[in-house]
Amino acid sequence: MAGLAKGLAVLEAFSRATPKLTISDAARLTELNRAVARRCLLTLVELGYLTHDGKYFFPTPRMLRLADTYVESSALPQLAQRHLAAVREALQESASLAVLQDGESLFVARSEVLRIVNTGVRTGATLPAYASATGHVLLAGLTPEELESYLDTARPKARTPKTPTSAEEIRQRVEKARAEDVATTDEELELGLRSMAVPVRDSRGRTVAAMSVSAMASRVSVAQLYDEFLPVLRENADQLGRIL
């Protein structure tokens, strides 16, 4: 943890006034000795956060990921909450917002309906992208190269007899979600559970999240998902996208 603190101090030494640093500059600005500052700088180069021309160290675009983490996982849930509440009130089912992280759907916001039996999804939980409606929507937002990379590295496991476990099955689900702008699962993730998700796109048309509703199959049919749930989801996902 001490090493992490020193590395973060070195990153924070870069600014508009100091867009490039020598080892001496880093040591002076962080009050670290030269040897420690040098080790931190070289480690950050190895990790891809800095580049080195032999004298100066410069930040790389990878640094933007640190800021994006805050923007996408902090501001987005706050903005989404009232839209999730609107979905919950209209459908009387719990609504969620998920983002793609490390090949999984990470739920960053949720508006719950109180029931004796619920779907078990909570803020901070993850679901495999290959088996979830949110995952299919989020994978549909990837470039063809990114999707192929995901399919090459994914190791699907059958959650139920309906879970897609081959690369071709998953690709078909993702392409269907891209073509229809919606994804559904019918007991692929959990027996007795149906879900629907739609993309949330920002002003550049980039899919930044998936808004979803899950319900017990005994309570909601697939036809109801399309007839009653889809218009409500799309309206609120579009409204959220317009303010991003």
Residue 64 in this model has a pLDDT that exceeds 80:
no
Asked if residue 43 has pLDDT above 60, the reply is yes
What is the model's pTM? 0.69
Domain map (residue ranges) of the chain: 2-59, 66-243
Name the more confident of 131 and 17. Answer: 131
pLDDT reading at 70 higher than 50: yes
66-243 has the same fold as 2-59: no
Query: What per-residue confidence (pLDDT) applies to 65?
Result: 74
pLDDT band at residue 208 under the 50/70/90 scheme: very high
**Tokens describing residue 166:** 């081959």
Q: How far is the C-alpha of 80 from the C-alpha of 97, rounded, in Å?
A: 8
For 2-59, the fitting CATH number among 2.60.40.2140, 3.50.50.60, 1.10.10.60, 1.10.10.10 is 1.10.10.10
DSSP per position, 165-231: -SHHHHHHHHHHHHHHT-EEEESSSSTTEEEEEEEEE-TTS-EEEEEEEEEETTT--HHHIIIIIHH
Task: Kindly report, residue by residue over 101-145, the tens digit of the pLDDT.
Answer: 888 999 989 998 876 445 557 787 889 999 999 999 999 999 999
Is 66-243 a CATH 3.30.300.30 domain? no
- Average pLDDT over the chain, rounded to whole? 90
- Write the pLDDT tens digit of every residue in 216-238: 999 999 999 999 999 999 999 99
Distances (CA, A) of 15 to 9, 18, 19, 69, 103: 12, 5, 5, 19, 33
